[in-house]
C-alpha cells in the first residue's frame, strides 16, 4: 500500500535533508570507549551450559554509565546451535518476549558464581567449551570470545579488540551496547535487513545497515525499511569448498551494524546481547537450523501461488468485476483480487463503503468468485479511527486495548485521521482483534488479510491532540500530511537516547513518524524496546484470528516483519518504483527474505509508482511470474497497469504465468519443503552450488528450488541476456530440446526477445508439472507430466524429485492427516536401461482425487527407447497400446562462449500414460540404437 514516504514530495525533501546535512557521522573514526570487561568467575550452569560473571575494567560515561557487572551464559542448545547471552548480572533487562518467539530460557540472574570453582569442570584456567559442531573459547582480561568450527578449526566469530582495531572491546550500558567480530576479507555476508541493497544480495562494505522498522519506501537505498532481521549468513570458500554459518543477534531495539570488510560491529540502543550461532555448513543447512529455532515458515494455501492483482484506486465493486472480466478476456491467469482501502467506509478498518462496496452486493460477488475458485483479500492498517460512532473503536476503548502515553491512549494520524494503535502485547487486545476479524468476516467473507503500515506508521510526530474548530483530515490535499496539533517529545532518554542510530539515513529521531518511544505497552513495556516487534505481534494476533474463523489455513501479507514473522505470514517488499533499477533490486530483497525464513515473498510487479513503461512491465512480469508471491500492485496516482492494459505485456504474461501455472505442483512442493525444513522457495544460485565463488554475489539470476534457474532481462532495450551457467547440463523449460552443457561455470548469451524469459532445468532433477490453466483450482486437477533430467548424453545417471499434495486449506501442512500424499520420484540410466519409479506415502488422498500421470519426458538420453515395461503397485500393465514413444534430438545454443560438449543426445516423451499418482509405479525400457 501507500505510505507517506512513497510520494515524490516526501522523497525529494528527504534527499534534500541528506544533501544539506552533508555529514554522515556514522562512518567517522570512532573514539575508543573504555577498556572492556574482565571475566571474574565461570562455572557450569544447572542446564549443562556455562555461566560466568564479568566486571567492568574502567568506567566511563560516553553514551551513559557502564553496567558494572554482567552475566555471561553459553550453551550448545543443539548439535549445530550455540547460544551466547550477555546481560546485566543484577537487573532484568528487556528481551524479545518468550511468548512471541518461544525458546529456551537462560538461567535466572544472581546464580552463585565461583563457589565450586575448585571442583568445577570449567575453572578459569580452561578456555574452551566444545559442542558437536562448534567450539566456544574465551579470554579473561579483557574478556573476549570466539566461536570456531570444530571440523576445520575455522574462526567464525571473534569479539576481541586490539588497539589498532577501529572498534572497542565489549561495551554494555543501559542504552548503548557494542560488540564486534573480526572477519576474513573473503567472507561473503548476506542478510541484515530489511533494506534495498543497490550492490546486490551480498552485503557491501561500508554501506549503512540500520535495523529499525520504519515506514520508508523501498525506493530508498541502504536505509532501514519495514523489517528488522539482525541475522547474517556468512559463506566462505576454504580450499575449493564452501562453508556457511549464520549469526543471529536476537534483539528488537534499534541498532546500527557496521561492516568494514574485515570486521563487523553492532551498536545497539537497548536490550541484551543474545547471540545464536548456526553451524551449517551448507546454506540450506543454515536456513534449516535457523528456522528450526525461529519457527518454520507458514504453510500456504495452494491458491496463494496463483497470480494476484491489486490496485489502490479500485473505486467501486464494478471496477473489480471489470478487472476480472478483462483478465479472462485476455486469457491471463488470475486467482486473487485485492482491495486496498477503497472498500472501506472512511478508510476505517473492518468496514465497508455503503455506496461503493455495499455488503449485499459484495457478498454476492464473493459467492460467485468463490464458486469459480477465485479469492479475495483486503487491506487492514493497525490504526483504529477515533470516532465515537465507530463500533471497532468503541469496543477497543471498552476493552482497553490501545498503547498508552501517560495513561491515555496514544493519539496518532493515519488514513482515517486521528487513530489509536492496538497494543498486541496485551492478551486482551489479541482477543478483541480476533473478534473484530470474525465480525468483519461475517460482513465480507474474505480469504486473507493484508496488514500494512505496521512498522508502525504515523503521519505525525510527537504528542498530539485533535484540533478544535477544524476538521482533520479535511478531505482536501494529501491524506498523509499531519493535521493534528502536535508537539515533539524529546525530554526523556527514551525519546532522545544518547546514541543516535542512523534512522532514515539521517539519524532521525527514533520517534519520527511513528509512536513516541516513551509510550507504553502492556505491563509497562516501552515502545522504545518493542517498536520493531509491532508488526510481528500484529501478525501473530491476525493469524490467530483468521485461523479461528473456519479452521482454514490463514493467508496473511505483512509489510513489517521481525525474526520469526515467516512462521505466520508472507511479505512483499513494499513501495517500489516502476524503474529498471527497482526491478533489479527486487531480486536481492526477495532472496534475502528466503534466508530470513520468509519464503513467500515478492515485489509489486511493474512497480507501485509511477507509471512503468510498456517494455519494463513486459520484463517485470517475466521476473514476477517466478517470485514466490506474484502480485501486480499500483498506486492511486498512477495510470492503470493491469497486465492486459498493453497487448505486448499480455503476451509476456501469458507466456511467463503460463509456465508458472504449469509449475504449480513444483512450487507447492517447495512450500512444503519450506514449511518442514525452512528451505527458501527462491534462492541464490550458491545454495545449490556453494563451492563456486563466482556465484557468491550473483544477483541477476535466481533459483526456484534447487533445480529451476531464472535468467531474466533486467535492462532496457535488451533482447538477449548474459547468463552464468554453473557446471552441468541445463535444459530450457520452454523448449526442452534446447540444452546448455558446460564443465566449468561460464557465461552464455541467450536470446531473449520481448516476450521471452529464459528458465532452465538442471540435471539430476525430476520435477512434476501439469497442464496449467486460468485458475489454480482448475490447473491442479489436470493430468501430470513428470520431467526427468539426466546429464546430457549420460550412459550412467540418476535423478530425483518429489511431489506433495494435500487439502490445501487445512491448518496444518503435514502427512498423517488422511488428506495429504507425498511421492518421491527416482530415475536411473545404466547399462543401456532407463528406469523411472515412484514411492508413495499416504496414497489415499491422491487416489481419491483421481490424479494421474499422462506423460513422462526424459531429457539427456544417449539413445532412443526400445522394449518397454510398466508396473503399477507391483503388477505389470499388459495393455500399453495407447503408450507412445517420441524422441527428438537436443539442440545446442550456438553462442557457446567457453567449453561445452556437443555430442548428440535425445529427449524422449512417453505419452498416453494413465498412471495413478497415488500408486507406486515402475517403468523401464532398454535403450535402442544410438542416434
Compute CA distances 400 → 394, 426, 429, 536, 634, whole Å. 10, 9, 8, 21, 36
Q: What is the DSSP string of 498-560?
A: SS---GGGTT--TTTTS--TT-B-GGG-BHHHHGGGHHHHHHHHHHHHHHHHHSPPP-EEESS
CATH label of the domain that carries residue 248: 2.60.40.1760
Do residues 915 and 796 both lie within one domain? yes
Q: Hey, which residues does 307 pair with through a beta bridge?
A: 630
Do residues 269 and 343 both lie within one domain? no
Which 8-state DSSP code applies to residue 172? Answer: E
Q: If pLDDT is split at 50, 70 and 90, which confidence band does 241 have?
A: very high
Over residues 696-722, mean pLDDT: 98
Name the pTM for this structure: 0.95
pLDDT > 70? residue 29: no
Give 675 or 885, the one with higher predicted confidence: 675
Do residues 201 and 313 both lie within one domain? no
Which of 447, 452, 582, 842 is labelled catalytic? 452
Residue 661 in any domain: the answer is no
**What pLDDT is attached to residue 111?**
52
Which 8-state DSSP code applies to residue 27? Answer: G
**What pLDDT is attached to residue 224?**
96
State the Cα–Cα distance between residues 144 and 158, nearest whole angstrom: 7
Residue 582 in any domain: the answer is no
Q: Is residue 159 within 8 Å of 146, Cβ to Cβ?
A: yes
CATH label of the domain that carries residue 818: 2.60.40.1180
* All residues at 6 or more sequence positions from 315 whose CB lies less than 8 Å from its CB, including other chains: 342, 356
Do residues 322 and 460 both lie within one domain? yes
Do residues 889 and 922 both lie within one domain? yes
**What pLDDT is attached to residue 471?**
86
Q: Hey, which residues does 145 pair with through a beta bridge?
A: 138
Do residues 257 and 316 both lie within one domain? no
Q: Hey, which residues does 909 pair with through a beta bridge?
A: 857, 886
State the Cα–Cα distance between residues 541 and 422, nearest whole angstrom: 11
Active site residue 452: yes
pLDDT > 80? residue 31: no
Question: Cell digits for 192?
Answer: 541484515
Residue 694 in any domain: the answer is yes
Cα of first residue to Cα of last residue in the chain, in angstroms, is 57
Which 8-state DSSP code applies to residue 494? Answer: T
Task: Give the angle 134-139-145 at the CA atoms, nearest 5°.
Answer: 40
Half-sphere exposure of 816 (CA within 13 A, CB side): 2
Q: Hey, which residues does 39 pair with through a beta bridge?
A: 54
**What pLDDT is attached to residue 117?**
38
State the Cα–Cα distance between residues 737 and 732, nearest whole angstrom: 7
Residue 500 in any domain: the answer is yes
**What pLDDT is attached to residue 3?**
59
Interhelix angle 664-677/647-662, rounded to 10 degrees, is 60
User: 675 in the Ramachandran plot: left (φ > 0), alpha (ψ -120 to 50) or beta?
Assistant: alpha
- Percent of the chain beyond pLDDT 90? 87
Residue 798 in any domain: the answer is yes
Do residues 363 and 476 both lie within one domain? yes
Half-sphere exposure of 508 (CA within 13 A, CB side): 24
Among the three residues 577, 612, 627, which one is the final residue of a domain in this structure? Answer: 577
* All residues at 6 or more sequence positions from 177 whose CB lies less than 8 Å from its CB, including other chains: 171, 266, 267, 268, 269, 270, 271, 272, 273
Active site residue 342: no
Residue (of 134, 130, 190) closest to 157 by Cα position: 134
* pLDDT tens-digit map of 481-496: 999 999 998 789 999 9
Which residue range(s) make up the domain with 907?
Answer: 686-927
Check whether the bond before 425 is cis (ω within 30° of 0).
Answer: no
Check whether the bond before 281 is cis (ω within 30° of 0).
Answer: yes
Among the three residues 226, 255, 283, which one is the final residue of a domain in this structure? Answer: 283
Residue 452 in any domain: the answer is yes
Among the three residues 577, 603, 619, which one is the final residue of a domain in this structure? Answer: 577
Number of domains in the chain: 3
pLDDT > 60? residue 882: yes
Give 731 or 22, the one with higher predicted confidence: 731
Q: Is residue 809 within 8 Å of 553, Cβ to Cβ?
A: yes
Residue 656 in any domain: the answer is no
Residue (of 383, 391, 369) closest to 447 by Cα position: 369
Handedness of CA 805, 811, 813, 814 (dihedral sign): negative
Give 882 or 677, the one with higher predicted confidence: 677
pLDDT > 80? residue 116: no
pLDDT > 50? residue 802: yes
Beta-carbon neighbour count of residue 551 at 10 Å? Answer: 9
- SS3 string, 133-168, reads CEEEEEEECCEEEEEEECCCCCEEEECCCCCCCCCC
Which of 340, 575, 622, 862 is labelled catalytic? 575
* pLDDT tens-digit map of 419-460: 999 999 999 999 999 999 999 999 999 999 999 999 999 999
State the Cα–Cα distance between residues 904 and 153, nearest whole angstrom: 47
Check whether the bond before 907 is cis (ω within 30° of 0).
Answer: no
Do residues 244 and 350 both lie within one domain? no
Q: If pLDDT is split at 50, 70 and 90, which confidence band does 165 have?
A: very high
Tell the residue number behind the cell numbers 575455522, with chain if given: 154
Do residues 223 and 258 both lie within one domain? yes
Q: If pLDDT is split at 50, 70 and 90, which confidence band does 927 have?
A: confident
CATH label of the domain that carries residue 480: 3.20.20.80
Do residues 230 and 322 both lie within one domain? no
**What pLDDT is attached to residue 288?**
98
Q: Is residue 557 within 8 Å of 377, Cβ to Cβ?
A: yes
Do residues 308 and 220 both lie within one domain? no
pLDDT > 80? residue 595: yes
601-602/255-259 β-pairing = unpaired
**What pLDDT is attached to residue 19?**
39
State the Cα–Cα distance between residues 139 and 128, nearest whole angstrom: 9
Residue 596 in any domain: the answer is no
Which of 224, 455, 529, 673 is labelled catalytic? 455
Over residues 294-308, mean pLDDT: 98
Do residues 272 and 310 both lie within one domain? no
Q: Is residue 59 within 8 Å of 67, Cβ to Cβ?
A: no
State the Cα–Cα distance between residues 830 and 553, nearest whole angstrom: 44
* pLDDT tens-digit map of 603-655: 999 999 999 999 999 999 999 999 999 999 999 888 999 999 999 999 999 99
State the Cα–Cα distance between residues 306 and 303, nearest whole angstrom: 5
Q: CA-based Rg of the chain, rounded to a whole angstrom?
A: 29
**Which of the given ranges, 26-30, 682-686, 892-896, has the highest pLDDT on average?**
682-686
State the Cα–Cα distance between residues 489 and 528, nearest whole angstrom: 13
- With 0-12 / 13-18 / 19 or more C-beta atoms within 10 angstroms meaning exposed / middle / buried, residue 235 is buried
Amino acid at each position: 500500500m501507500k505510505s507517506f514516504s512513497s510520494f515524490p514530495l516526501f522523497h525529494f525533501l528527504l534527499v534534500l535533508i541528506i544533501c544539506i546535512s552533508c555529514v554522515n557521522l556514522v562512518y567517522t573514526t570512532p573514539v575508543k570507549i573504555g577498556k572492556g570487561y574482565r571475566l571474574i568467575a565461570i562455572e557450569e550452569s544447572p542446564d549443562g551450559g556455562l555461566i560466568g560473571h564479568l566486571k567492568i575494567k574502567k568506567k566511563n560515561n560516553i553514551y551513559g554509565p557502564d553496567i558494572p557487572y554482567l552475566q555471561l551464559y553459553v550453551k550448545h542448545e543443539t548439535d549445530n546451535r550455540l547460544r551466547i547471552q550477555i546481560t546485566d548480572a543484577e537487573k532484568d533487562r528487556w528481551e524479545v518476549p518468550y511468548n512471541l518467539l518461544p525458546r529456551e530460557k537462560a538461567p535466572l540472574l544472581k546464580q552463585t558464581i565461583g563457589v565450586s570453582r575448585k571442583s568445577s569442570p570449567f575453572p578459569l584456567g580452561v578456555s574452551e567449551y566444545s559442542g558437536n559442531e562448534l567450539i566456544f573459547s574465551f579470554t579473561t582480561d579483557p574478556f573476549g570470545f570466539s566461536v570456531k568450527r570444530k571440523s576445520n578449526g575455522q574462526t567464525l566469530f571473534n569479539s576481541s579488540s586490539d588497539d589498532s582495531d577501529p572498534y572497542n572491546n565489549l561495551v554494555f550500558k543501559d542504552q548503548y551496547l557494542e560488540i564486534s567480530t573480526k572477519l576474513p576479507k573473503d567472507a561473503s555476508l548476506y542478510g541484515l535487513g530489511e533494506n534495498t541493497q543497490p550492490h546486490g544480495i551480498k552485503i557491501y562494505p561500508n554501506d549503512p545497515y540500520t535495523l529499525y522498522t520504519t515506514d520508508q519506501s523501498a525506493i530508498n537505498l541502504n536505509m532501514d525499511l519495514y523489517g528488522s532481521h539482525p541475522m547474517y549468513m556468512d559463506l566462505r570458500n576454504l580450499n575449493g569448498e564452501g562453508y556457511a554459518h549464520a549469526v543471529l543477534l536476537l534483539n528488537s531495539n534499534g541498532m546500527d551494524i557496521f561492516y568494514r570488510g574485515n570486521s563487523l560491529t553492532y551498536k545497539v540502543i537497548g536490550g541484551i546481547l543474545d547471540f545464536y550461532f548456526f553451524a551449517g555448513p551448507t546454506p540450506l543447512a543454515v536456513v534449516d537450523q535457523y528456522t528450526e529455532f525461529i519457527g518454520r515458515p507458514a504453510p500456504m494455501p495452494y491458491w496463494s501461488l496463483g497470480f494476484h492483482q491489486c490496485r489502490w484506486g479500485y473505486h467501486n465493486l464494478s471496477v473489480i468485476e471489470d478487472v476480472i472480466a478483462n483478465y479472462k478476456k485476455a486469457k491471463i491467469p488470475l486467482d486473487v483480487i485485492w482491495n486496498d482501502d477503497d472498500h472501506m467506509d472512511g478508510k476505517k478498518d473492518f468496514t465497508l463503503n455503503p455506496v461503493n462496496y455495499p455488503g449485499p452486493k459484495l457478498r454476492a460477488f464473493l459467492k460467485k468468485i468463490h464458486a469459480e475458485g477465485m479469492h479475495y483479500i483486503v487491506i487492514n492498517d493497525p490504526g483504529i479511527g477515533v470516532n465515537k460512532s465507530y463500533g471497532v473503536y468503541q469496543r477497543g476503548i471498552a476493552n482497553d486495548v490501545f498503547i498508552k502515553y501517560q495513561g491515555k491512549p496514544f493519539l496518532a494520524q493515519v488514513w482515517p485521521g486521528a487513530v489509536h494503535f492496538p497494543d498486541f502485547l496485551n492478551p486482551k487486545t489479541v482477543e478483541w482483534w480476533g473478534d473484530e476479524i470474525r465480525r468483519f468476516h461475517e460482513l465480507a467473507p474474505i480469504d486473507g488479510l493484508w496488514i500494512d503500515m505496521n512498522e508502525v506508521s504515523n503521519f505525525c510526530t510527537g504528542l498530539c491532540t485533535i484540533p478544535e474548530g477544524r476538521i482533520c483530515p479535511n478531505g482536501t490535499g494529501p491524506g498523509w500530511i499531519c493535521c493534528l496539533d502536535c508537539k515533539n517529545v524529546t525530554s526523556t532518554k527514551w525519546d532522545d537516547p544518547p546514541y543516535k542510530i542512523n534512522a532514515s539515513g539521517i539519524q532521525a529521531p527514533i520517534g519520527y513518524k511513528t509512536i513516541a518511544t516513551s509510550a507504553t505497552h502492556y505491563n509497562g513495556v516501552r515502545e522504545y524496546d518493542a517498536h520493531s516487534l509491532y508488526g510481528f505481534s500484529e501478525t501473530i494476533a491476525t493469524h490467530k484470528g483468521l485461523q479461528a474463523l473456519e479452521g482454514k489455513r490463514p493467508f496473511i501479507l505483512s509489510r513489517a516483519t521481525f525474526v520469526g514473522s515467516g512462521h505466520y505470514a508472507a511479505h512483499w517488499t513494499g513501495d517500489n518504483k516502476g524503474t529498471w533499477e527497482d526491478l533489479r533490486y527486487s531480486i536481492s530483497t526477495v532472496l534475502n527474505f528466503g534466508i530470513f525464513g520468509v519464503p513467500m515473498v515478492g515485489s509489486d510487479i511493474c512497480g507501485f509508482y509511477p507509471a512503468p513503461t510498456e517494455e519494463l512491465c513486459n520484463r517485470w512480469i517475466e521476473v514476477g511470474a517466478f517470485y514466490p508471491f506474484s502480485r501486480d500492485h499500483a498506486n492511486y496516482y498512477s495510470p492503470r497497469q493491469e497486465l492486459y492494459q498493453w497487448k505486448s505485456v499480455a503476451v509476456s504474461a501469458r507466456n511467463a504465468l503460463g509456465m508458472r501455472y504449469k509449475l504449480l505442483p513444483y512450487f507447492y512442493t517447495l512450500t512444503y519443503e519450506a514449511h518442514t525444513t525452512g528451505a527458501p522457495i527462491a534462492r541464490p544460485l550458491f545454495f545449490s552450488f556453494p563451492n563456486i565463488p563466482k556465484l557468491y554475489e550473483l544477483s541477476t539470476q535466481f533459483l526456484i528450488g534447487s533445480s529451476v534457474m531464472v535468467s531474466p532481462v533486467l535492462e532496457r532495450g535488451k533482447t538477449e541476456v548474459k547468463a552464468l551457467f554453473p557446471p552441468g547440463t541445463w535444459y530450457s523449460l520452454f523448449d526442452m530440446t534446447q540444452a546448455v552443457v558446460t564443465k566449468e561455470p561460464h557465461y552464455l548469451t541467450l536470446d531473449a526477445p520481448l516476450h521471452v524469459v529464459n528458465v532452465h532445468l538442471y540435471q539430476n532433477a525430476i520435477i512434476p508439472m501439469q497442464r496449467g490453466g486460468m485458475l489454480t483450482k482448475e490447473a491442479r486437477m489436470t493430468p501430470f507430466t513428470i520431467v526427468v533430467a539426466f546429464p546430457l548424453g549420460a550412459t550412467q545417471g540418476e535423478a530425483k524429485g518429489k511431489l506433495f499434495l494435500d487439502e490445501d486449506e487445512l491448518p496444518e501442512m503435514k502427512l498423517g492427516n488422511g488428506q495429504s500424499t507425498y511421492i518421491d520420484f527416482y530415475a536411473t540410466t545404466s547399462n543401456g536401461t532407463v528406469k523411472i519409479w515412484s514411492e508413495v506415502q499416504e496414497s489415499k488422498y491422491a487416489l481419491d482425487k483421481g490424479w494421474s500421470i499422462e506423460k513422462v519426458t526424459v531429457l539427456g538420453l544417449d539413445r532412443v527407447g526400445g522394449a518397454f515395461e510398466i508396473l503399477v503397485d507391483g503388477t505389470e500393465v499388459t495393455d500399453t497400446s495407447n503408450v507412445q514413444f517420441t524422441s527428438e534430438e537436443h539442440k545446442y545454443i550456438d553462442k557457446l562462449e567457453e567449453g561445452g560438449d556437443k555430442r548428440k543426445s535425445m529427449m524422449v516423451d512417453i505419452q498416453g500414460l494413465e498412471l495413478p499418482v497415488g500408486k507406486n509405479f515402475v517403468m523401464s525400457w532398454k535403450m535402442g540404437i544410438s542416434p
